[in-house]
Structure 1
Amino acid sequence: MNQHHALFVAFHVPPEASSSGVLRTLKYVRYLDDLGWRVTLLSLAVDAYDATDPALDSQLPASCRIVRTRYLNTKRHLSLARRYPALLALPDVWIGWLPWAVAAGRRLFQSDPFELVYSTSPHATAHLIALSMARRTRVPWVADFRDPWFEVPPEPGAPNGPLFRRIDRILERTVIESCDAVVTTTAQLRDMLRLRYPTQPAAKFTTILNGYDEKDFAALPGETRAGTSLVVVHAGTINAEFRDPQPFFAAVRRCIDAGVIEPDRVRVKFLGGGPFAESPGLKATVAQLGLEEIIEFVPRLPYAESLRELARADLLLLLQFSPDTSGLVPAKLYEYLR
């Protein structure tokens, strides 16, 4: 039996598959097992997830236990005529998970004490759950930030009134000042938090970059692509705010018109593009540019299958640009570079 025991509070755990964030937690758990740590994952009932990939479950070590709880989603359960009180969605719409998670964590500590609490965001509610657990148990707490808690300017669609911004700042400050260590996915995010909280020791903030697991690629069969077309692949969600493919579409059209690209020798695939990929407006743009035979939107694929698509591509496309995302590194970039 493993020597040490840690509690991980995370929304994105297998089989959740809507975010690459699930891989960060999955790989932590998988390789901590080799270092003598068994992990209990505290998460929500599986029906909270919009997308799942059951194959991810098989990567969890036998020592890992998942404790799932009930929850309330403010948008899903408290909306009236598609509107809901924004104050009940701070720091996010999953705040209704907190009471059940805290109760489950307390019961777990009584029956199987843990020596460390780790929480990861998004979603920030996980940090508030961990805050409560750390205060009750007095064990060390590591807060992992995959993205900023709040952004300046705010992320499109996020509550943006002075009251919301003030509450978010208070909550983030409470977490940063209460936890024992802060981990970020980029050096820029680490430095931003250091500057925002100068009274905290600089050594409290550290960066653990995202990456890739060579074992995931070793399982891929040797692929030889048939055909002569240039295949371009983009993996993951797209949106109109900072991952908008429409300028790329326009560039493809200009290249075709200039004779740089032969239209029957290029194909572009978007894997798991999300709601924006299925939107009538984006499809109309593709049609207006005459790219229907070139651009293909593929529904979300299991992780292993998406890696096979990346391996077969000639070019891998990365879309990300806005002032608030300039310092963030999408997890898929590491898989692209591999």
Structure 2
Amino acid sequence: MVNRVLIISPHFPPINAPDHQRVRMSLPYLAQFGWEAHILTVRPDSVEGINDPLLEKTVPQEIPVTSTGALPIQQTRKFGLGSLGLRSFPYLLQAGNRLLQQQKFDLLYFSTTIFNSMALGPIWQRRFGIPYVLDFQDPWLSDYYEKPNAGRPPGGRLKYEFSQLQAKLLEPITLSSVSHVISVSPAYPQILQQRYPQLRPEQFTVLPFGAPEQDFASLPAIEVQQKIFNPHDGKRHWVYVGRGGDDMALALRALFLSIQCDRRQNPQVWESVRLHFIGTSYAPKELALKTVEPIAQELGIADLVSEHPERIPYFEALKVLTDSDAILLIGSNDSTYTASKLYPCILARKPILAIFHHQSSVIDILKQCQAGEYITFNSHSQPENLLTQVTTAVHKLLSLPNGYIPETNWSAFKPYTAKEMTRKQCQIFDQCLTSHGQSKSP
């Protein structure tokens, strides 16, 4: 028997956005585990983001996709409203109503950071009697930027406060009748259970994203080129691909301070090293601000560091990783932060240096898979406290020969592959149907 799931993912290929990664990685395997998917998304012309046709080709052709519109951002921005969640909500509601009336679905699955769309779950659950699952890839309601020294929230204080007001109104309603919550971070279930005591521990599962093995396997045939650096110029190129922000300043300062100190003693070594930071801003190209280069400037290594704040196409980002000599993983001082970019970095088969909060799952996975060097910090750490450890790790990177391939434990990595993650995801779906049937029975 095959069950049907309606997946709501407002960001979806060809839009290059990390929050559809779990959906995209699971689509080739869902049928193996007894599920058929139908995608409900927003048309690319209504979404701000990089349009990546190559990414769209990775979606199996047999998967039906319903795309809907949104209020034009050119009009809504005049009123200070750019949120895709608000712009697309009535359109997703209408399209979802039509789908659920015309077709039979057994489950609703929301996998997105466009949190407002999750509020459709209880609406459709009441109207159509279908259980729903929420996938939390980031916190929805959060007090992180209200803490001392948290820095400026992305998009500014006003935008942050407006989004948190929406979260305070919508999150309790959305979680009131949820069947199951999937989370990429073990911290989120703890936070949500404290906030909503009616939710039971068995309604939560911590499930990282699946590793995109198929994407790396197809990379040579695509023949995509990256434009960030020339891998044949005789330099050693260390790269970071992912978001920036004030919450990453501690890890960045620790890295740059160690380079500054070592460069004073070994200037010749650093003449051939270049550090590249790509995709550090979520904002459109014309609004993207640099957050990495100012710290490099402050610590006197600006000539070694280049920042490309706007996002680049997905496969070009993978090519950046495979063309590099080493990969940097920069962590947040928020202990709940889990980097979805970890698995592509491991699959790139390059030396890795990670600087992360000691409670992050990134550290556990790197340790299990023996995939790279890591330095940990806590909420009281200062860059100077990490100097010795980071310098030792940097020296190790510098000592590696060109073309070095880490001796990763691929057996330990297997549970993190897309197929295995999809298997666990479908087990959750099956449990939801069983629980829903029991709750409906007299």
Q: Normalising to structure 1: TM-score of the pair?
A: 0.82
Q: Name the residue aligned to 1:242.
A: 248
Contact 1:310 1:316 in 2 (8 A): yes
State how far apart, in whole Å, the 2-side matches of 1:281 and 1:29 are: 35
Deviations 1:182-214 (A, max 9, x none): 111122212222222222221111111123122
Q: Tell me whether 1:147 sits opposite 2:138 in the alignment.
A: yes
TM-superposed CA distance for 1:245, in Å, is: 7.6
TM-superposed CA distance for 1:181, in Å, is: 0.9
Of stretches 271-280 and 191-200 in structure 1, the one that deviates more from structure 2 is: 271-280
In the TM superposition, what are the counterparts of 1:198-217 in structure 2 within 5 Å? 198-217=197-216
Q: Tell me whether 1:297 sits opposite 2:304 in the alignment.
A: no
In the TM superposition, what are the counterparts of 1:52-67 in structure 2 within 5 Å? 52-67=51-66
Q: Tell me whether 1:307 sits opposite 2:331 in the alignment.
A: no
In structure 2, do the counterparts of structure 1 residues 284 and 213 end up closer, same or farther at CA, with 3 Å as the change threshold? closer
Counterpart amino acid of residue 100 in structure 2: F
Contact 2:239 2:327 in 1 (8 A): yes
In the TM superposition, what are the counterparts of 1:1-338 in structure 2 within 5 Å? 3-17=2-16, 19-47=17-45, 48-72=47-71, 77-80=75-78, 84=80, 94-154=85-145, 156=153, 157=156, 168-221=167-220, 226=232, 229-242=235-248, 247=253, 248-259=255-266, 262-274=269-281, 279=289, 286=296, 291=301, 293-298=303-308, 300-322=311-333, 325-338=334-347
Unaligned 5+ segments in structure 2 are: 147-152, 222-230, 348-442
In structure 2, do the counterparts of structure 1 residues 159 and 8 end up closer, same or farther at CA, with 3 Å as the change threshold? farther
Of stretches 326-335 and 155-164 in structure 1, the one that deviates more from structure 2 is: 155-164
State how far apart, in whole Å, the 2-side matches of 1:262 and 1:98 are: 54
Taking only the aligned residue pairs, the percentage that are identical comes to 24
TM-superposed CA distance for 1:76, in Å, is: 5.1
TM-superposed CA distance for 1:287, in Å, is: 5.7
State how far apart, in whole Å, the 2-side matches of 1:59 and 1:220 are: 11
State how far apart, in whole Å, the 2-side matches of 1:78 and 1:228 are: 48
Counterpart amino acid of residue 319 in structure 1: I
In structure 2, do the counterparts of structure 1 residues 150 and 159 end up closer, same or farther at CA, with 3 Å as the change threshold? farther
TM-superposed CA distance for 1:100, in Å, is: 1.3
Of stretches 274-283 and 187-196 in structure 1, the one that deviates more from structure 2 is: 274-283
C-alpha RMSD of the superposition: 3.3
Unaligned 5+ segments in structure 1 are: none
Contact 1:9 1:130 in 2 (8 A): no
Q: Which has the higher helix share?
A: 2
TM-superposed CA distance for 1:110, in Å, is: 2.2
State how far apart, in whole Å, the 2-side matches of 1:291 and 1:183 are: 41
State how far apart, in whole Å, the 2-side matches of 1:273 and 1:160 are: 19
TM-superposed CA distance for 1:233, in Å, is: 0.6
In structure 2, do the counterparts of structure 1 residues 41 and 243 end up closer, same or farther at CA, with 3 Å as the change threshold? farther
State how far apart, in whole Å, the 2-side matches of 1:281 and 1:99 are: 35
Q: Normalising to structure 2: TM-score of the pair?
A: 0.65
State how far apart, in whole Å, the 2-side matches of 1:280 and 1:333 are: 22
What SS does the aligned partner of 1:149 have? coil
State how far apart, in whole Å, the 1-side matches of 2:15 and 2:162 are: 32
